[in-house]
A and B are shown apart, each in its own frame.
Chain A
Amino acid sequence: MDAKTGLLGGDGKISLNWREKVLGKIVKIQHRYDHLFGSKKISNALWRKLLYTWVFCATMFSLWIFLYMSSQAIEKRKETLASMCDERAQMLQDQFNVSMNHVQAMSILISTFHHGKSPSAIDQTTFAEYTKRTAFERPLTSGVAYAVRVLHSERAEFEKQQGWPIHRMDTLEQNLVHKDDFDPEVLEPSPIQEEYAPVIFAQDTVSHVVSIDLLSGKEDRENVLRARASGKGVLTAPFRLIKTNRLGVILTFAVYKTDLPSNATPDERIQATAGYIGGIFHIQSLVEKLLQQLASKQNIVLNVLDTTNQSHPISMYGSDEADDALEYVSTLNFGDPFRKHEMRCRFKQKPPWPWLAITTSYGFLVIAMLTGHIFYATVNRIAKVEDDYQKMMELKKQAEAADIAKSQFLATVSHEIRTPMNGVLGMLHMLMHTDLDVTQQDYVRTAQASGKALVSLINEVLDQAKIESGKLELEAVQFDLRAILDDVLSLFSGKSQEKGVELAVFISDQVPEKLIGDPGRFRQIITNLMGNSIKFTEKGHIFVTVHLAQEVMDSLDVETESSSKNNLSGFQVAERRVSWAKFKTFSQHERVCSYPSSTYDLINLIVSVEDTGVGIPFEAQCRVFTPFMQVGPSISRTHGGTGIGLSISKCLVELMNGEVGFVSIPNVGSTFTFTAVFNNGHSNLNEYTCQQMNNQSNSANSEFEGMSALVVDPRSVRAKVSKYHVQRLGIQVEIVSDLNQVLSSLKSRKPRIDMVLIEEEVWNNDSDLSILFVDQLRHIDQKVTPRLFLLAKSISSTRSDNVTCDTHSPAVIMKPLRASMVAACLQRTMGNMGNKGNYRNGEVSRLSLQHLLLGRKILIVDDNKVNLKVAAGALKRYGAELVCVESGKEAISLLTPPHSFYACFMDIQMPGMDGFEATKTIRDVEKSVNRKIQLGEVSAEAHGNVLNWHVPILAMTADVIHATQEECMKCGMDGYVSKPFEAEQLYREVSRFSYSAESRKL
């Protein structure tokens, strides 16, 4: 068994090695031919071959095992047979030899006592007695007899002495008689021979042979002759014995008269022969008797044969009853060299089936087959998996290719669309700045808006693609949240005004002014949500609030302002608190609160967009954030859009580490809320708080700094929004709920109120009260009566009241409110408050210029009469009083103090004395006069109560080179205007110097 397992193990190892090699090869092949279609088949065929080889080998091996083991068994059987056979043969031989020796001993006995003594000491009776008693010493002999040598000459004497004639044996041999029929009396007397060998003594068992001449029997004669010649025991061939008629062998010894030397010649021996003693071996019975002594007699079949004649062996014992072909032959040596005997042994039964071999080999075969099967299954499985893998790879490649193709397509298409669209938009932009009539301008504006919408749609689709592929990255730049919301607000203001929907933004004071994050994306989210809101809202309001998450959490329990009275437009709204109920930020409330310092730099904003629109049906609410899903197919028809806006927003919010949620009640409204985490734009704490304190003050709007305003609004939320925006301009704001309160607070308050902002609703509610209010306002005893502003949400409602320019009828500020717009409105209305505004509108500047120059006396100096006339004409339009002179000298004389000129416009290039020279002279004169006044040499009264004379002189020049400008300044001019006059430039310069003149006077 050990050898077998060893073999098996070896086999396994070899097959493993082989497998590895084959695998390596296959892999190589696969690599080499990977792109080929047939690679799979090649490996498959290889596997198949390998499998067949394995099966074949295993079968052969198991067969070998079977053969080997069965041959071993046969060998063993043979050995067993041989040993058994040899044992028996040896035994037979031993017994035989014992018998033979005894027979030989008897021959010596006879020689000694019969022939050696005279008279003989032995007669028949003695002999028979003796032999009978010593029969046990001769186990294989059935009987012994002694025949004496009788020559013919002695026959008669012998016959006489014995009392019986010598009988012949051959007739007996010819007519085989049975034992019972045997009668020595019927024997014929021996014919005359040279010599005779009649039996004289015989054992009782064979007493019937007495008197029979041995030489007359064919077998016996031969035996006798050979025995006396050799002096050794001689055997006959087996033959049928007389009387018993059974198969037997006769052993014959010669009895010599004298003791012969061992090297005596045969002739000497013959001469010395006295008689012959023969032992009858009754082989069959004897052998049987012998075998009975041995165990396992029944297992084997014995045949004893005389093989002296090789071609015709004579069976001495045994039968052919055995079926087994296996035979063992062992030679028997009975001491007669002339005779050859052998014993043939066979098993009685056929060899048993070699069960061990069969089971072992079969077991091995089964194991091998199982292994093969496993191998086959494995290979199949591998092949299948590889197949699948190939398929998957193929599919993956296809999918990737498709994805790439999609991205490329999107990129290409969007690029291809965007490039011409840029052209279109650019051209439209340029077209808008050409001279168009109102209709054309409208067309162009519409075209531009559509183009922009298309571009933004393309960008949206691109965004979606980018988000899907995870390629979208957020920027981190500093930005102003309020500015962004203002922008977005202005984007939607047109629509909201059109619809009469109130649009408002409120940003908590605690939100820092500068944040670091992606303003574009933030704006996108807001735009998206607001866009949706405005799309679905026909009445009521849209309200965007921005708070710190912290702030909201803190006030979560306190806040109870959700009654319909107290929101922006008085419509019912979906409670926004519900929309963030599921936010993790709030569920982790404790955590955030416990580490305020660590999250300090991170600003977690919570932004809500609340509308009073149609709301989202409950059944559609679950798929609001799914791309390309809209509430229903009709939505896209009526409202347009692709339906990816919200999904993009959601992705963007998640990119900003925020969450988005909503609550919506059909026909009441929706509130979307999202959180987003930004970095604080001011890492420094001091800077931060500082910023907090004056983040409302905006450098651009610093002109309103320190003013104060009253907001009249019964709705606290709306008032808060108004307050927020006005406050951003640096204006102090107080909120009162009705007009009466305004009057009382106007009366009572010490610091003046510069403006009163009245909610349109309040104004229109009770027009009588409003008129009364205006009337009363007029009579309020205050230095400057406050300006009135109406906060209106739609264009139509206020148009009628808007026309008159009376200071006491209110100016209108259109909602949505935003700082820049409010600032512009305030500036427009309160423009003449001594600040410099930048008016592009020619009408405005003209009026302002008129205001500036009205009644002023201005000197114009130009040698060119035409130019003089034109300049005068231009200035006269603004109500100035003009004096024209044509030379510098005249100008000098006119401008020598005291004079009443407000300003002087002087041409530079003049014959005689040019502008520079004239100006220098004028300045010199002014200086000397000023000095005199200061020194008291001349009384100030004499010079018009002016302490410091400096008439503004503006150069008029055709060339606007910088050098000229510098020269103007150098020689004491205050500015210059290019010829020909332009109203704007004129205004700028005049206002500048007049301002400085004012300041000098003060």
Chain B
Amino acid sequence: MEVGQMQRRLVEFTKSLFMEGFLDGQFLQLQQLQDESNPDFVVEVVSLFFQDSEKLLNDLTSALEQQNVDFKKVDAHVHQLKGSSSSIGAQRVKNACVVFRSFCEEQNLEGCMRCLQQVKQEFYLAKNKFETLFTLEQQILAAGGSIPATEITSF
């Protein structure tokens, strides 16, 4: 694949991510933090997010499966997830977490279960998207091209 084409695809893809609400402005901030001294910053952070979040999701699943659900503990986990997702700009995961937390406050087990599924779904979706994005970027870099700056700023 040609570099230019790949670059266009990347731009298109990134745009679609924003349009579909997977990402928000925070991701752009994150991108801005990446510079020559810190070239893999975004990838590092995002992979850290995935590791961390997978662990959190497992914890959440086991916590909700217990006989007496400790909603405080669940809430803390969700809070963490929400914080980290908002930090990388994974908007839909964050939104799902917000709903999740409100069910936790109500101590609504059923709602929590449903939200867990929702968050998981969103999380994996986001993971997929990010992986595609990074793959594309790496391909471009491998082809000797440069990552085009994301132009969308106002969402």
Q: Is the CB of A866 within 8 A of B35?
A: no
CA distance A864 to B82 in the complex (A): 10
Closest 4 CB pairs of A and B: A866-B84, A866-B49, A873-B33, A870-B87
Q: Are A866 and B87 in contact (CB under 8 A)?
A: yes
B148: interface (CB < 8 Å): no
Contact A980 B38 (CB under 8 A): no
Q: A864-B84, A877-B33 are in contact. Are A435 and B154 (CB under 8 A)?
A: yes
For residue A415, CB closer than 8 A to chain B, the reply is: no
Hey, which chain A residues are within 8 Å of B154, CB to CB? 435
Contacts of A909 in B (CB 8 A): 79, 83
A170 on interface, CB distance cutoff 8 Å? no
Which bucket holds chain B's interface residue count? 20 to 34
State in angstroms the CA–CA spacing of A435 and B151 once bound together: 10
Residues of A540-577 at the interface with B, using a CB-CB cut-off of 8 Å, are none
Tell whether A413 is near chain B: CB-to-CB under 8 Å.
no
* A909 to chain B: closest residue by CB: B79
**For the complex, is B48 an interface residue (Cβ under 8 Å from A)?**
yes
Judged by a CB distance under 8 angstroms, whether A31 is at the interface is: no
- Verify B52–A864 contact, CB threshold 8 A: yes
Report yes or no: B87 in contact with A979, Cβ–Cβ below 8 A.
Answer: yes
- Give the residues in chain B near A870, CB-CB below 8 Å: 30, 33, 45, 87-88
The minimal Cβ–Cβ distance linking A636 to chain B, given in whole angstroms, is 45
B38 touches A873 (CB 8 A): yes
Chain B residues whose CB sits within 8 angstroms of the CB of A958 once the complex forms: 83, 86
Known contacts A870-B30, A979-B87: does B52 contact A865 (CB below 8 Å)?
yes
Q: A873-B38, A873-B45, A876-B38 are in contact. Are A867 and B29 (CB under 8 A)?
A: no
Could you say which residues of chain B place their CB within 8 Å of the CB of A867? 83-84, 87
In Å, the complex CA distance between A494 and B34 comes to: 39
Whether A981 is near chain B, meaning CB under 8 Å from some CB there, is: yes
If A869-B44, A869-B48, A873-B33 touch, whether A864 touches B38 (CB-CB below 8 Å) is: no
A911 touches B76 (CB 8 A): yes
Cβ of A502 within 8 Å of any chain B Cβ, yes or no, is: no
B79 near A980 with CB under 8 A, answer: no
Interface residues of B in 67-124 (CB under 8 A from A): 76, 79-80, 83-84, 86-88
Nearest chain B residue, comparing its CB with the CB of A869? B45
A206 sits at the interface (CB 8 A): no
Task: Give Cα A911–Cα B86 distance, bound, in whole angstroms.
Answer: 18
- How far, in Å, is B54 (CB) from chain A's closest CB? 12
The answer to whether A864 and B83 touch (CB under 8 A), given A869-B44, A877-B35, is yes
> Contacts of A874 on B, CB cut-off 8 Å?
29, 33
Cα(A866)–Cα(B35), bound, Å: 18
Instruction: Say if the beta carbon of A306 comes within 8 Å of chain B.
Output: no
Interface size on A, residues (CB 8 A): 19
The verdict on A863 contacting chain B, using a C-beta distance below 8 Å, is yes
Task: Evaluate contact between A980 and B153: CB separation under 8 angstroms.
Answer: no
CA distance A877 to B34 in the complex (A): 9
Bitwise interface map of A from 866 to 901 toward B, beta carbon under 8 Å scored 1, else 0: 110110011011000000000000000000000000
Does B41 touch A at the CB level, under 8 Å?
A: yes
- Interface residues in A841-878 (C-beta closer than 8 Å to B): 863-867, 869-870, 873-874, 876-877
The CA of A979 and the CA of B83, in the complex, are separated in Å by: 9
From 3 to 36 in chain B, residues with beta carbon under 8 angstroms from any chain A beta carbon are 26, 29-30, 33-35
Binding site for A on B (CB under 8 A): 26, 29-30, 33-35, 37-38, 41, 44-45, 48-49, 52, 76, 79-80, 83-84, 86-88, 153-154
Contact B87 A980 (CB under 8 A): yes
Contact check, A866 vs B88: say whether CB atoms are below 8 A apart: yes
- Which of B29, B35, B37, B80 is close to A980, meaning CB atoms less than 8 Å apart? B29
A867 to B26, CA, bound (A): 12
Cα-based distance from A873 to B153 in the complex (angstroms): 20
Of A865, A911, A979, most B-chain CB atoms within 10 Å: A865
A979 to B87, CA, bound (A): 8
* Contact across chains for A435 and B86 when beta carbons are under 8 A apart: no
Instruction: Find out whether the CB atom of A864 lies under 8 angstroms from the CB atom of B87.
Output: yes
In the bound complex, residues from chain A placing their C-beta under 8 Å from that of B88 are 866, 870
**Alpha-carbon distance A865/B45, docked complex (angstroms):** 9
Interchain CA distance A979-B25 in the complex, whole Å: 12
Residues of chain B within 8 A (CB-CB) of A869 are 44-45, 48
CB contact under 8 A between A979 and B86, given known A865-B48, A866-B49, A869-B44 = yes
Closest Cβ–Cβ distance, residue A912 to chain B (whole Å): 10
Q: Which residue of B lies closest to A866 (CB)?
A: B84
For B34, list chain A residues within 8 Å (CB): 873
Contacts of B86 on A, CB cut-off 8 Å? 958, 979-980
Contacting pair B29 A866 (CB below 8 A): no
Q: List 11 A-B contacts (CB under 8 A).
A: A864-B52, A864-B80, A865-B52, A866-B52, A866-B83, A867-B84, A870-B33, A873-B34, A874-B29, A958-B83, A980-B86
Cα of A987 to Cα of B120 in the assembled complex, Å: 37
Contacts of A435 in B (CB 8 A): 153-154
Q: Are B48 and A873 in contact (CB under 8 A)?
A: no
CB distance from B15 to the nearest CB of A (A): 14
Contacting residues, chain A, for B29 (C-beta < 8 A): 874, 980-982
Given contacts A870-B30, A870-B45, contact A865 B84 (CB under 8 A): yes
Please report the C-alpha to C-alpha distance between residue A864 and residue B86 in the assembled complex, in whole angstroms: 11
Chain A residues positioned under 8 Å from B45 (CB to CB) = 866, 869-870, 873
Q: Is B83 touching A980 in the complex (CB atoms < 8 A)?
A: no
* Residue numbers in B under 8 Å from A982 (CB-CB): 29
Contact between B48 and A980 (Cβ–Cβ < 8 Å)?
Answer: no
Residue of B nearest to A877 (CB): B33
Cα A876 to Cα B41 in complex, Å, equals 11
CB distance from A808 to the nearest CB of B (A): 30
Would you give the shortest CB distance from A191 to chain B, in whole angstroms? Answer: 183
Q: How far is the CA of A867 from the CA of B37 in the complex (A)?
A: 20
Within residues 42 to 71 of chain A, which ones have a CB less than 8 A from any CB in chain B?
A: none
CA A95 to CA B87, docked complex, whole Å: 173
| Min C-beta distance of A71 to chain B, whole Å | 123
Q: C-beta contact mask, A969-982 vs B, less than 8 Å → 1, else 0? A: 00000000001111
Q: Which residues of A contact B52 (CB under 8 A)?
A: 864-866
Contacts of A980 in B (CB 8 A): 26, 29, 86-87
Name the distance in Å between B77's Cβ and chain A's nearest Cβ: 9
Task: Tell me, in angstroms, the Cα distance from A873 to B29 when the chains sit together.
Answer: 11
Instruction: Give chain A nearest CB distance to B105 CB in angstroms.
Output: 15
Within 8 Å CB of B41, what residues of A?
873
A residues 682-707 touching B (CB-CB < 8 Å): none
Question: What residues of chain B lie closer than 8 Å to A877, measured between beta carbons?
Answer: 33, 35, 38
Q: Which residues of B contact A981 (CB under 8 A)?
A: 29
Q: Which residues of A sit under 8 angstroms from B49, Cβ to Cβ?
A: 866
Q: A958-B83, A980-B26 are in contact. Are A866 and B33 (CB under 8 A)?
A: no
Cross-chain contact A866 with B48 (CB below 8 angstroms): yes
Alpha-carbon separation in the docked complex, A958 to B35 (Å): 25
The distance in angstroms between the C-alpha atoms of A982 and B26, with both chains bound, is: 10
B101 to chain A, nearest CB (A): 12
List of A residues within 8 angstroms of B84 by Cβ = 864-867
Q: Considering the chains assembled together, what is the distance between the CA atoms of A869 and B52 in angstroms?
A: 12
